[in-house]
Amino acid sequence: MAQVNLNLKDIESLNTGRDLPYVLQDVAGVVSFSDAGNGIGYTNMRIRGSDITRINVTVNGIPMNDAESHGVFWVNTPDLMSSTNAIQLQKGLGTSTNGSGAFGATLGLNTLGAKEQGGRVTMGLGSYGTQRATVEANTGQAKSGFWLNTRLSTITSNGYVDRASSDLQSYYLSGGFTGGDHSVEIVRFGGGERTYQAWYGIDSTTMYGGAYDAAPTTNSAGAIYDDNWNVLGSYEDQVDNYGQQHTQLHYRFDNLLGGALNAAIHHTAGAGYYEEYNQGYGFADFGISPYYNSTGDTVAYGDIATRKWLDNDFYGATASWMTSAKGNTFILGGGAHRYEGGHFGQVIWANNPNVDALSQNYYSGDALKDDANIYAKWSKKLSKMMFYGDVQYRFVQHSSTGGSATGPANFDRTFNFINPKAGLTYSLKGKQVLGAYLGLGHKEPNRTDLQNAEFANDIKAEQMLDLEMNYRNSSENWDLDVNIYRQQYQNQLVLTGSLDAQGYPIRANTGLSFRQGLEVAGRYDFTKELQFSANLALSQNQNVDWIGGTSSLVQGNTTIAFSPAVVGGGRLTYEKKGFEASLWNQFIGKQYLSNDGLEMQTLPAYHLVNARVSYTWN
């Protein structure tokens, strides 16, 4: 399978305070982007056209994807890269692990273990008022076997987009003990964020009518209009305000029945809201009675400020046992997790005397999701060949009662999945390696899919058959990685082009669809100090006999939305005695904004160039 590994040195070189999507920009087929436009605040990425809801993310083997939306919100744990030792990215289905089903990739971060003794202060300044400060202090592992790691971080930015400011804080604390066959470590990390909303995007008239070229940083979020819809100003508190705290306890025993046991328990607590100014809305939509003005007329519309809250807990346990003998390696593992989420909307102000500020809830709902899995993995090493295979059983039950910002949210669905995978590698002359992989995976719909469906029971789980072939070769000063793949989908959930009552995209099952492509990545060291790396991803991403969300007609094969056919980039780096300078560029091909294949609904190809200079004092 296609796999990318980043060690501590790689991460430190790429870590500028921006989130993980920007650390992975050099990986073939990765497209990173952010609401604010400069990689601070809300950031996201797509791999082979698949967004973060299809990328299974774990930290120390603990799931990070939100149980309901399937997304990962890096803004809630800013500067996590400063505490990360290693990153592994497996494209496609990958191998079985804990968390939601991986359709785009499996991404694992490792922060465990004693870090090098000492302290570090990292200061950074960047464009658009970006500032970063990180303080770390680590004891190293003492002779007694104990260690302690600490970090505090703050990141602020004005953002490229108007008013897209970010005020982020985070911390990381871990301590542990290793003695004999046992090791134990407790990890606590989290953060808080206050970001001005910049996720609204722009309409087609602004994009193609010339207004965008004249004012490319325009942000409609929080805009306040006069009676003729001219912008008078903006609402100061159109912000997202959220905090998230992660706690993990890990235990390892290296001598259990001839194998090694790894076990963990975890808890994630999150709470926060995003605030909105709603101008000219009907009071009835927010559970507010109309009022009579001084002339006796009924007033049913007005301006309303709301907060949409989420208060949730996610907790569970994981375990795995591994043993090896005579070239065979066997792993048995699994996990069980529960998510409890409270959703409610609060009216905090309205130009209506019938409103009791801060006590007027206009919707309230509760969600519960149980997710459990068990898997077995086996690999066999021969002289030049290695076979491997695994099979996973996964159980999911997701229910919701009450309301939401878009209306009722009542559903109860159960899913049972069997996910088998197999592969082999063959070593040729020198360091050449050939590999092949075949896997079948399933993924359940998310909360929005079930909530927006006319009948929640009609939404089907997605299925993907993933075929990968890989060639790798390397020497002391260069390496090359070539991968070809075919991902065949049944009932893939894709964007219909329609929006719900809050303006969020609606997804629906499509019949057949596929992604296939070629990925090439390489590195060449001209000298010890000067290095060049490049990557290219060519792909075809198609819906088969697409029936559009805005039309009931079969439109034939269309391109899957947000899936560029060409993504390529390169980086030139010079490093000597603590000084480092790099020049990075990336080309991203045209992207369709819907699945209807309409040229008028496209994002043109674009080219990015970034330059960076840094110096490290020891």
Q: Which of 594, 589, 512, 605 is nearest to 559 (CA)?
A: 594
Helix (H) or strand (E) holding 12: helix 8-14
pLDDT for the residue 53: 92
Low-confidence ranges of the chain (pLDDT < 70): 209, 211-212, 214, 357-359, 497, 499-504, 548-555
Nearby residues of 464 by Cβ (< 8 Å), 6 or more positions away: 93, 103, 440, 441, 442, 443, 487, 488, 489, 490, 492
pLDDT for the residue 361: 87
Residue 349's Cβ-count burial label (10 Å; 0-12, 13-18, 19+) is: middle
Chain segment 4-30, per-residue pLDDT in tens? 999 999 999 899 888 999 999 999 999
pLDDT for the residue 593: 87
Residue with tokens 């993924």: 443
φ, ψ dihedrals at 458, nearest 5°: -85, -20
Distance, CA of 465 to CA of 515 (rounded, Å): 11
pLDDT for the residue 192: 95
pLDDT for the residue 287: 86
CATH number at residue 578: 2.40.170.20
Distance, CA of 507 to CA of 558 (rounded, Å): 16
The residue range of the domain holding 182 is 3-615
pTM value is 0.93
Query: How many structural domains compose the chain?
Result: 1
pLDDT for the residue 608: 93
Q: Which of 577, 558, 572, 561 is nearest to 617 (CA)?
A: 577
pLDDT for the residue 506: 80
φ, ψ dihedrals at 20, nearest 5°: -50, -40
Chain segment 113-127, per-residue pLDDT in tens? 999 999 999 998 888
pLDDT for the residue 495: 77
